[in-house]
Structure formats: structure tokens, C-alpha cells
Amino acid sequence: MNAEELVQRYQMGDRDFSNINLGEVDLAGIDLSGAVLAGASLDGANLRQAKLHRADLSGADLNGADLTQADLSGANLQDAILDGAILEGAILDNANLNQADLKVANLVQATLSDAELQQADLSGANLESADLTGADLAIADLQQANLSDAALEEANLSGARLEKANLQGTLLEGGDGTLAT
């Protein structure tokens, strides 16, 4: 399926695109709010400024995808593979990223307020100036992550691994600021 066919089906009311293969496809600016893309292959896809509000991307492969300034608020990304993905300035408020693979992902200035990131792998990720206010990072792997100038107020960091993480200028007030390793 190509981008044009996807948009046409979405506009006709189809919302279930589970297990679809759209790797390397240019979907910049597309509106797939509320779509089901569970298990989809979107590796290397261009999703810059895409509207994926409340979309189901659980188990999707977004390895190396460009999601710069995409709206993923309320999206389900549980178990998704976002290894090396570009999420700079993306909106992930209230998103479910439990057990997601975000190794070396670029999340500079992303907003992840109240996001669920339990057991997520954020090792080596760049979260500089990211807003993680109220996020649940219990048992998350943040080893060697860049959290400089990030907001972690009211975040749950219980059991999170922070070895060699850059916490310079990070706000850690309130919540469970336990830095267990």
C-alpha cells in the first residue's frame, strides 16, 4: 500500500491498518488520528508533523523513523520499536510507551507529560530539554541518556537505571525521585 491509498482508505472511514508495511514511505503531515497501526512496519518512514493522536501503534516498527514534531498524544506505542527514531519536538503527552525500545532516539524538546514509560529502553537516548513532567519511568533504562535541562517534576523514577546519564540542569522535584540503579 502506498501513501495515497492509505489516505484514501482513512478518509473513507477505514481505521484498521494493522501489520501494514509502510517502511521508508513519505507520510509527512498525514492525519491518522485514532488509526490502528498495531504491528505495522514504518521503519525509516517520514512522519514529520504527522497527526497520530490516540493512534494504536503497539508493537509497530518505527526503527529510524522521522517523527519530528509529530502529534502522538494519547497514542499507544507499547512494545513499539523506535530505535534511533527522530522525535524532536514531538508531542507524546499521555502516550503509552511501556516496554518500548527507544535506544539512541532523539527526543530533544519532546513533550512526554504524564506518559507511561515503564520498562522502556531509553539507553543512549537524547532527552535534552524534554518535558517528562508526571511521566512514569519505573524500571526504565536511561543508561547514558542525555537528560540535560529535562523536566522530571512529579515523575516516577523508581527502579530506573541512570548509570552515566547526563542530568545536568534536570528538574527532579516532587514525585518519586528515587534514583535506584
- Distance between CA atoms of 4 and 36, rounded to whole angstroms? 17
Residues 125-141: tens digit of each pLDDT: 999 999 999 999 999 99
Rg, C-alpha atoms of the chain: 16
Residues 23-64: tens digit of each pLDDT: 999 999 999 999 999 999 999 999 999 999 999 999 999 999
Give the Å distances, CA to CA, from 176 to 7, 85, 150: 43, 28, 16
- Domain ranges (residues) in the chain: 1-181
- pLDDT score at 181: 33
Instruction: Name, in order, each residue with C-beta under 8 angstroms of 66's C-beta and a sequence gap of 6 or more.
Output: 45, 46, 47, 48, 85, 86
**Of 78, 38, 45, 90, residue with least CA distance to 63:** 45
- pLDDT score at 174: 60
Model pTM?
0.93
Q: What is the CATH number of domain 1-181?
A: 2.160.20.80
